[in-house]
Structure 1
C-alpha cells in the first residue's frame, strides 16, 4: 500500500465580521509540491500576498 500527498490551497481572506472564506482548491493532476500548485492556480486568478496569505479569485 502507498500513500500520496494531495496539495490543497485554501483562501485566507477574512471579512469584517471575522468570517473566513471557505474556498479551497487542489489540482486535477499530480502536483509535486505547493509551489507547483500555486503556479497552476495563479493562471486561474489565485494570488499569494507578500504576507503569505493565499487569496481566491473573488478576494484577490
Structure 2
C-alpha cells in the first residue's frame, strides 16, 4: 500500500507528554561567542547553514 508522504506524516501519532515549563536560557551556556566576533555558537551555525544569507 502506498500513499502520499503528506498523508503518511499526518497519520503519525503526536503525543505531548511532560511539562513545558522550566525552560531557561541559562540552561544553555554553551551558546558562547568563542571567536569573539559578536555571534554566539547558535548564530554561527545558523549563518553557516543558511540557504539564503543575511542582507546587510
Query: Shorter-chain TM-score category?
Result: under 0.3
Higher helix share: 2
Question: Taking CA–CA contacts closer than 8 Å with sequence separation of 6 or more, which of the two structures ends up with the larger relative contact order?
Answer: 1
Structure label with greater radius of gyration: 2
